[in-house]
Amino acid sequence: MDRAAKKAKTSGLVKKKASSSRITELWKREIGEVPPRKFSLKLGASEDLVLRLGICRKLKEHKGCVNTVSFNDNGDTLMSGSDDRRVVLWDWDLGRVKLSFHSKHTDNVFQAKFMPCSDDRSIITCAGDGQVRHARLLENGTTEIVMLAKHEGRAHRLAVEPGSPHKFYSSGEDGVVQHFDLRSGTATELFTCKSYNSPQYRAIRLYAIAIDPRNPNLFAVAGTDEYARVYDIRKCKWDGSDDYCQPTDHFCPPHLIGEHQLGITGLAFSDESELLVSYCSEEIYLFRRDMGLGPDPLSAAPSSSDTALSVSESVVEANVKDESQVYKGHTNCETVKGVSLFGPKDEYVVSGSDCGRIFIWRKKDGELLRVMEADKRIVNCIVPHPHDPMLASSGIENDIKIWTPNATNRATLPVKVKKVPIHDGFAIFFSDDDDDSNDADDGIVIFDHLDYADSDDDSDIFYDDDDDDDDDDDDDDDDDDDNDDSDDEIENDTDNDDLGNG
């Protein structure tokens, strides 16, 4: 028997064994040997279901890029927000709109979230106009919307305190983190997040914020430098003083310390308090709490030009034994992309990509499992269902895709996926190709003006101020157009320092 035949036979035996195992589990559940909760957790974590994910429905209502999607706690309603400045609530299972209202924002809606324990009638939003708004869905079918606060510059992300119908945070491009309590209707400015890389300790633009579900006193923020900072709300000043609230910990892979041109677009905490960090022009990393650099990351940074390519021995020793898990393959250069954990116990890592595909990795070892065709251009948002093995995704296109394990056959990985930077600011993404059976969408996707970390181009998309003056005004370039995709991409005017939302 030749090697190919032997491999095929072995593969067939493995599949039969897996199928037999699933039938046995079903039988045990029926006779009561396996508790329903345990069976549900085991089924939801099944890699077989991940390999059968496919688009079951497309939700079409928005007239612009869909920048945010989120499920309610029950999972029966999906909410979306868009460049058209509208917020839509969906019965995703039936594919129909339950409610659509104008957010009252004057620019693209970047995030919309349900407040917990509010019967889905309390919604918070933030947008490109810097405003943070609260919408109340009234019994008579109308919507009452008030502005709670405003950032100087775009407000990209919100973080809701788990289980609280009142408390949440906002972060924006002004580097400010604000805390809200809807009972008072006012915002408390906690601090301005400042860069360690600039002589003036200038504010960094914040693109991500997340709360630790195991300890809601802890939250992480990140933006236009290499560090994910963790803060303790109990150590922040509430008396309006100017004392700078110091992070309790910092996270960054050792080899990226000092790489000031990088930045972070997405953060997510696992149920075990691990911190997932998605870098622009780099990879995705997973950190345990004991892998932090501490409250003073400068002690871990190179101290002179002679050691610019090395990090301190203490950092190396701390990470040699157990380095952060890395997830490779996607491209994150053009927009502010989130990153998510998927599965009943966060067994998988999920991210969109500039190539229009969704990437799914096994969390524990970083193995790439799926590369799924989603949009023709860029996928920015992917959120898991709170209970079922399904996903919702959105991006530069105007629709939302619902993904369920509906495929008859298990998907296989593409033969090759690679990025090729070329001259004149263009880059090619070879995709040979996604793991579906449709060859029509395979081939080469070309994007304009991408900047790769390993390219020869000196321009850096995450520098706050590329010119020699101290004026930020000439570095920002906001559009007022209702449905302009350029708001969601890296702006390529005089400066290449501003990242659009996703």
* pLDDT for res 474: 45
> In b/e form, how buried is each residue of 164-192, taking b as 16+ CB within 10 angstroms?
ebbbbbbbbbbbbbbbbebeeeebbebbb
Low-confidence ranges of the chain (pLDDT < 50): 7-8, 10-11, 13-17, 304-321, 419-432, 439-497
Q: Is the torsion defined by CA of 35, 36, 38, 42 positive or negative? A: positive
Q: Is the torsion defined by CA of 42, 46, 50, 53 positive or negative? A: negative
* pLDDT for res 498: 52
How far CA 246 is from CA of 121, 231, 235, in Å, comes to: 35, 7, 8
pLDDT in tens, 311-362: 444 444 444 446 899 999 999 999 999 999 999 999 999 999 999 999 999 9
Q: What are phi and psi of 74, to 5 degrees?
A: -75, -25
Say how many CA atoms lie within 13 Å of 458 toward its Cβ. 1
Mention every residue, 6+ apart, whose C-beta is less than 8 A from residue 30: none
For the beta carbon of residue 126, count every other beta carbon within 10 angstroms. 31
What's the token pair of residue 193?
Answer: 């997040």
Q: What is the pTM of this model?
A: 0.78
* pLDDT for res 29: 64
CA 41, CA 39: separation in Å to the nearest integer?
5
Q: What is the chain's alpha carbon radius of gyration, rounded to the nearest angstrom?
A: 23
| Closest to 465 measured CA to CA, from 202, 236, 283 | 202
CA 347, CA 364: separation in Å to the nearest integer?
7
CA 187, CA 173: separation in Å to the nearest integer?
17
* pLDDT for res 196: 86
Q: What is the DSSP string of 90-121?
A: EETTTTEEEEEEE---SS-EEEEEEPTTSTT-
